[in-house]
Structure 1
Amino acid sequence: MTATLAHWPLWKLFLFRWAALYGLLFFSGGFWNRPWHSLAVWAAKLWGHDLLAQSGPNGSGDTLENYIFCALWLVAALLLALIWSLIERRGTFTGKLAWPAHTLLRYVLGWYLLYYGWSKVFQSQMPLPDLVQLAKPLGEKSPMGLLWTMVGVSPLYQIAGGWAEVVSGLLLLFRRTSLLGAALGAGVMAYVFLLNLSFDVPVKLLSGHLLLYCLLTLVPFLPRLWAFIRGGSVPAMTYPAPPQQPVWRWVGWVWRVLALGIILVLPFQQVRQAHKLYGDWPSSSKLVGIYQVQTDSVAPNQDMSFDVRWHTLVIGDREYGNGNQPPVRRAALTLVNGTRTLGNYQDDPKTSTLTLFMSGNNEAYQYSHNGFGDLVLKSATRQLVLTPKPEGTLLTTRGFHWVNERPLNR
């Protein structure tokens, strides 16, 4: 196989060098971001953007800087591939790199698929929506928020998708199962890429690259796949012979065992650790619920746009990890004028105090329940009576039914 690769036409040799160099830059982040950032700022100015976003890491992989990085890496890889081609011409070095590059690519893809797969298996990437999310009007959700809600309410769907990624990642780690792993991984990533495009999820660059490199992993197997599709005899796959020197054979085994150990263990541990630090757990507060405000001591305003009476209060049913800080409990407040504010809350059952942290306006309320089961809140300037609103949780409480006498489509 190595000899065959060495006799590729020049254009195939060049494309391999370009793809390998670009993949190395992309998956390593350009080795060092600082010089690339300076180039990105310069390139952005050429395209009419004076400043790049300075928000720092926020979960988006589709920033303008990310796109400029990819363009710069494409150009850099092209120039390096040209220099490489001029130096080597028709040498055999490229052919000898083909299978090691294929192995490295399989390991990189396996890492990503295992990481994202485990995050879905443990339902940490798209958790079950909480009461604050359920109370948000559908029209106010972003497309990404709608996708996260849709996947989050169906553990079966999310876990099945996670196992598809985990299995394809595991298959990619071993050469004799890499064909099946790459084919399955390409199918999974094609669907993920389609979802990212359809719901404006800012991971389009990464998912698109993972799909592309899954397809590139299939390249050595294309003659056998084509023979299978045509119904002809499928020849056995031949791989390069291992090194003859015992020391190099031993080195090869050691680095593969180390790499496989890291890839098999680290993504799993990272997902579990992230869930431990930033996961969600049921809230211990007994005030959890969606409340409709019945009375508010604040006087109404004839101009509805300035009416700041409360309309709905949501006391979230989850506690979200905050690193080494105390967990965060979410709350949402909707006013009569339609303004909706997100924040957090603290419940001290010993003093019957509910503290709301809403956009910098922090206020503590003494709470109690009247004879009708309503929640009564009192502060120095306000008194409210709130009635529990049980509706609004059908999405998470409906469950699964084999028998449906009529469709429940609301």
Structure 2
Amino acid sequence: MSTDGPASEPPTAELRDPIEKLDAQRRTRRQNILVTLAWMLHWVLRMGLAAMLLVYGWSKVVLMQMGLPDHGDALTQFGEMSPMGLLWRFMAYSPVVQCLAGVAEVLAAALLLFRRTVWLGALLAVADMAVVFLLNMAYDVPVKQLAGVLGVVGIIILLPFLPRLLRFVAGRATGPALLPTPIPWPRLARFTRWLGAIVAVVAVAGSGAVLVWSAQGISRVDGPLPGVYRVVEDAREPAAQLAEDDRWQQVAFGQWDYHDGRGRVGIRYANGDFQGGTYRLDGDTVTLSLDRIREGSQPLGRNDYVAGFDLTWEERPDGRIALTGDRVDIVIESDTEARYLFDRDFSWAPRPPINR
């Protein structure tokens, strides 16, 4: 006789069905947990991207990031500019272009904050960051990596909606809208749905209000001094060698006062050197705080300012301005050639192109 026990029999259908149902429930529960965690990460990414876009976007809208075209910058020659400086001046010259670039970023951020428009916000954010990344690469702007990372984040946020978007482009039925569900609990989701919308509106409007308020400190400098000038009279004798001649040849006083009562100033010397800095007007006195004379790509820091000195200025009946002070006794007049970029007007009417 065999000593083996009775052969094991396969479970009956009645026993197999509850086990399969239990396994299916466990798999579904794990899937739901993973999906919820994925949507939570998705929410974190889109909130972070929206925050970055709001900061950079509003700073362009209120013309703070690139600034405004300024007479104090008129004497910087094309070859002296850094690639980033060229891009900044290009954007600053046209406030409309700078503002519209900011509007595109703010709009992308606003769309990212609402569940039903996340896909559109991500799509616009990817387009925005692609352009920014290209400009940063082409003009050697230091935040290349940041623009690239923000673009990749936009792509990650867009991924869940990409199949539906491709079906739409192909003209196929897209099915019901896909809504992000970082909160799987219905009661809490009903509350946070409205709270999220309110927070989104406050975030967009509040960040804009803060930067608009910050931009209120930018104003025009009063008086006739702002402008671009060439020296027509100089009481000092020229140096024996041109390379040693440190008399002023041109000077430019900026027309924009940035918060602290100072405008930009630029000085071109007879020997070709250029020196920038800031100036402050106080009655008939102008106080200059100048950077060190530039040497190649040597960066300027906060401690690189030469001690300020005062000049007395006086407007003459013929429109010229006399400047007197330490080692300066000159008469200057408006230099129409050096400020042509600022004086060129806009016209809808056809006229001969001027490409100079």
Q: TM-score with structure 2 length normalisation?
A: 0.79
Would the aligned equivalents of 2:36 and 2:182 in 1 still touch at CA under 8 Å?
no
Query: Aligned-pair distance for 1:398?
Result: 2.2
**SS in structure 2 opposite 1:234?**
coil
2:346 corresponds to which residue? 400
Structure 1 position 142 matched with structure 2 position 99: no
2:287 to 355, 358, 361: 355
Which residues of 2 match residues 356-395 of structure 1 at below 5 A? 356-359=288-291, 360-379=306-325, 381-395=327-341
Query: Aligned-pair distance for 1:336?
Result: 0.8
1:67 corresponds to which residue? none
Structure 1 position 225 matched with structure 2 position 157: no
Query: Aligned-pair distance for 1:226?
Result: 2.6
Summarize deviations over 1:146-190 as a string: whole Å, max 9, x none: 111111121222222222212221111111111111111111111
Structure 1 position 210 matched with structure 2 position 144: no
2:254 corresponds to which residue? 316
**Unmatched 5+ stretches in structure 2:** 1-25, 292-305
Summarize deviations over 1:207-259 as a string: whole Å, max 9, x none: 1111111111111112212323333322223445964563x346634763564
Aligned counterparts of 1:399 and 1:371: Cα–Cα separation in 2: 27
Would the aligned equivalents of 1:110 and 1:263 in 2 still touch at CA under 8 Å?
no
Structure 1 position 187 matched with structure 2 position 127: yes
1:167 corresponds to which residue? 107
Would the aligned equivalents of 2:39 and 2:182 in 1 still touch at CA under 8 Å?
no
Query: Aligned-pair distance for 1:292?
Result: 0.9
Structure 1 position 333 matched with structure 2 position 267: yes
**SS in structure 2 opposite 1:218?**
helix
**How many residues are paired up?**
315
Which residues of 2 match residues 190-339 of structure 1 at below 5 A? 190-239=130-179, 240=181, 243-244=184-185, 246=187, 248-249=188-189, 252-253=192-193, 256-257=196-197, 259-276=199-216, 279-321=217-259, 326-339=260-273
Q: Which amino acid aligns with 1:356?
A: L
**Unmatched 5+ stretches in structure 1:** 1-5, 9-89
Aligned counterparts of 1:178 and 1:165: Cα–Cα separation in 2: 14
Query: Aligned-pair distance for 1:281?
Result: 1.4
Aligned counterparts of 1:382 and 1:176: Cα–Cα separation in 2: 65
Structure 1 position 177 matched with structure 2 position 177: no
Change (3 A) 1:397 1:94: farther
Summarize deviations over 1:291-337 as a string: whole Å, max 9, x none: 2112222222222211111111112211111xxxx322221212111
Would the aligned equivalents of 1:172 and 1:182 in 2 still touch at CA under 8 Å?
yes
**SS in structure 2 opposite 1:190?**
helix
Which is greater in Rg?
A: 2
Would the aligned equivalents of 1:107 and 1:263 in 2 still touch at CA under 8 Å?
no
Change (3 A) 1:299 1:251: same
Would the aligned equivalents of 1:111 and 1:267 in 2 still touch at CA under 8 Å?
no
Aligned counterparts of 1:381 and 1:226: Cα–Cα separation in 2: 71
1:52 corresponds to which residue? none
Q: TM-score with structure 1 length normalisation?
A: 0.69
Q: Which amino acid aligns with 1:171?
A: L
Which of 1 and 2 has higher RCO (CA within 8 Å, sep 6+)? 2
Which stretch has the larger CA shift, 256-265 or 141-150? 256-265
Greater fraction helix: 1
Q: Which amino acid aligns with 1:224?
A: R
Q: Which amino acid aligns with 1:405?
A: R
Q: What percentage of residue pairs aligned between the two structures are identical? A: 33
Task: Give the root-mean-square deviation of aligned CA atoms.
Answer: 2.7
Summarize deviations over 1:338-396 as a string: whole Å, max 9, x none: 111112223332xx333333342533333334454322222365421222213333323
Aligned counterparts of 2:121 and 2:94: Cα–Cα separation in 1: 26
Q: Which amino acid aligns with 2:196?
A: R
Would the aligned equivalents of 1:285 and 1:347 in 2 still touch at CA under 8 Å?
no
Summarize deviations over 1:40-60 as a string: whole Å, max 9, x none: xxxxxxxxxxxxxxxxxxxxx
**SS in structure 2 opposite 1:191?**
helix
Which residues of 2 match residues 99-138 of structure 1 at below 5 A? 99-138=39-78
